[in-house]
Copies of this chain bind each other. A is one copy, B any other.
Amino acid sequence: MRQDGRKNDELRSIHIEPNFTIHPEGSVLITVGQTKVICNASIEDRVPPFMRGQGKGWITAEYAMLPRATEQRNIRESSKGKVSGRTMEIQRLIGRALRSVVDLSAIGEKTLWIDCDVIQADGGTRTASITGAFVAMILAFKKAIEKGSISKMPVKTFLAATSVGIDQKHGAILDLCYMEDSSAEVDMNLVMTGKGEFVEIQGTGEEATFSETQLAELLALGKKGINELIDYQKSIIGAFTLPDHREASK
């Protein structure tokens, strides 16, 4: 049994609170175990320069942590005057992941900004960000449809993310908390769709390597976890999805 009593293939408890703050078009607070992330979606009526004139939209993400989201206080990136490599990597990942399930040509020349702000961290902040940002995005598009600024839901399928890893004591485990993540030899983030397809696989051995057999085990665990996360997302935003967006997941 793992340190928090979970089985190897067990997710942490998950909770998504929709409409967490009042200003954003879409806003949720996602809680995965002790990890808490505010995911806000904003719609802006223009696209970045490299996208202009193509009649298509764009989705981009920013990610940050409160200084005291962690056990030790971190220096604010605004105080340091630059964004770390880790932050950039995560925000690029979130943006790419969301773009993979959206028909960008269906939203016109608009930008969807996703802001993921971690207020409490206990591992898996990037995957919680994606899982929560997907819901914030649906809320924002729903509001845009109501206001008539886009005509129909441009999202092709559900999307969620989790982590898997290999640990000397437990072998392959699902949804690592911070302590597990720190001691894991292999760490993998998986982003998958409601149709069971992959969007991102980022597997890394930190001062370690892994075999094909281990890879297969990790992918199976991740798929199980993501299916459960998507079921939970559906319970939250079911009422918001449009009738013609029936999922054929699993």
Identify the A interface with B (CB < 8 A): 21-24, 27, 34, 36, 38, 40, 42, 44, 62, 64, 66-71, 73, 76-89, 91-92, 96, 99-101, 104, 113, 115, 117, 119-121, 188, 193, 195-212, 215, 219
Find chain B residues with CB under 8 A from A42 CB. Answer: 67-68, 73
Given contacts A78-B83, A89-B92, are A68 and B198 in contact (CB under 8 A)? no
Which residue of B is nearest A27, CB measured? B68
Given contacts A201-B202, A201-B215, A209-B195, are A85 and B92 in contact (CB under 8 A)? yes
Are A104 and B207 closer than 8 Å at their CB atoms? yes
Find chain B residues with CB under 8 A from A188 CB. Answer: 201
Please list 22 pairs of residues, one from A and one from B, whose beta carbons are closer than 8 Å in the complex, sorted by A's number. A21-B68, A22-B34, A22-B120, A23-B121, A24-B68, A24-B73, A40-B66, A40-B68, A42-B73, A62-B67, A78-B83, A82-B82, A96-B206, A99-B207, A100-B207, A100-B209, A119-B119, A197-B205, A197-B210, A198-B215, A199-B209, A201-B201
